Chains A and B, each alone.
Chain A
């Protein structure tokens, strides 16, 4: 089965529906599926629920889908860098479900692993616990969190082979593996597609079983906060 597509629009062909749930990889602007997000904007699909740790910035990443009002609801842990997001949220145009970061990652991992719910101590005694079943194990309270199964996953990796085996690079891995796992269909964008056999099987981070369609960059890979130190004078 052919997994490699020519571009993001072709890779998403037939996969987008109004009102669908999309899981997206990335942390801040690092490791975000920037090409697939742009293609989703161009498709005009709307009323989306997007599970993603962050919401991009105003003019890059998921911020693009907020500008065009294609997102109905975000499931995120932190949305601080996006002014348009805050405006839409405070005016009631956008629904927001805050999830603790580790809970969001585990909801994706669990959903992909066939686990419909799990108990965690995270959020016990806070607003996060409101309305959630509580269970005591070994004298400690835990709350029930649900696994997420997304209609579509969009992720970014460094390299893929043509069978969809993925390798990520440094901290750009972040939410991409759990996001990929939880989708009924997963589309990955990568910087380089290499022939099968050219990646050591022991070095594959995410097996191709989770990846259905692949496209190759180029990527902008924007830096959100450029922090540096001075070289010591000789």
Chain B
């Protein structure tokens, strides 16, 4: 059953996240809504990194042109561009850890007001692993989280403190949700923008984290 969601939908959140990207940036996009961000970069010259060893990730191949040797970090078949380069996993994470990737746009299960991020495991549930998420949040220049503001039960996912095991401590710079845009600042979160049709009171009511002016 589809849950009625207030504010921005998935594509609007992705479009808002695309505004974070500047011409010339090398960027890593996570799985889910972040993947959609690539559809909204417009004329900006953005190079997408796939952490399994590629800069310059292209779109999905045409049917019949899939190549087992050419996949993204989500293991989906993709294509190369005329700017593409390939490299090994150690080199890939050297550029991530070394701060050469300007930004990562990632999904999250929980974010806290101090920038803590949890997006890799729920205790006692299926543990799949962190993949490259811990390396990305620790290494890239700027971490932007895109996620629903609340869970299916209507509880805030923007918290005073994360309850789930962390992916990174104090790593998030900006949070984009269906209700708006928030920045991690000293003392809590600062409202940057409200989503279409959302009042500040509505955003505050759905946010457990401290909001500072």
Q: Give A contacts to B, CB under 8 Å.
A: 27-31, 53, 76-81, 86, 89, 98, 100-106, 108-109, 120-128, 158, 168-178, 205, 221-231
Contact = CB atoms under 8 A, between A and B. Distances in A.
Contacts of B166: 125-127
B53 interface: yes
A180 B11 CA distance: 42
Majority secondary structure, B binding face: loop
Given A224-B75, A227-B78, A228-B77, 7 more contacts: A79-B128, A122-B138, A125-B170, A168-B88, A171-B53, A171-B54, A174-B53
Interface in B47-78: 50-54, 59-63, 65-72, 74-78
Contact of B89 (A86, A178, A227): A178
B70 A126 contact: no
B137 to A, nearest CB: 9
Contacts of A177: 88, 90
A223 B96 CA distance: 27
B168 interface: yes
A121 B71 contact: no
Given A29-B75, A123-B138, A125-B168, A178 B90 contact: yes
B32 interface: no
A97 to B, nearest CB: 11
A125 B93 CA distance: 19
Interface in B84-131: 86-90, 92-94, 96-97, 116, 126-131
Given A102-B92, A224-B75, A171 B129 contact: no
Contacts of A123: 134, 138
A77 B138 contact: no
Nearest to A100: B134
Contacts of B190: none
A34 B151 CA distance: 41
B69 A171 contact: yes
A176 B77 contact: no
Majority secondary structure, A binding face: loop
B177 interface: no
B135 A225 contact: no
Contacts of A178: 88-90
A231 B67 CA distance: 17
A226 B66 contact: yes
A229 B38 CA distance: 15
Contacts, number: 182
Contacts of B168: 124-126
A106 B150 CA distance: 37
Contacts of B65: 228
B88 to A, nearest CB: 4
Given A225-B74, A229-B62, A174 B52 contact: yes
A2 B195 CA distance: 67
B77 A226 contact: yes
A227 B76 contact: yes
Given A77-B129, A105-B90, A122-B138, A27 B52 contact: yes
A233 to B, nearest CB: 13
21 contacts: A27-B89, A78-B130, A80-B129, A98-B129, A98-B130, A101-B131, A101-B132, A102-B90, A102-B97, A106-B94, A108-B90, A125-B166, A126-B167, A127-B166, A170-B70, A171-B54, A173-B86, A221-B68, A223-B66, A225-B77, A229-B59
A106 B90 contact: yes
A80 B128 CA distance: 4
A205 B85 CA distance: 13
A108 to B, nearest CB: 7
A127 B63 contact: no
Contacts of B74: 225
Contacts of B116: 125
A148 to B, nearest CB: 12
B187 interface: no
Contacts of B169: 124-126
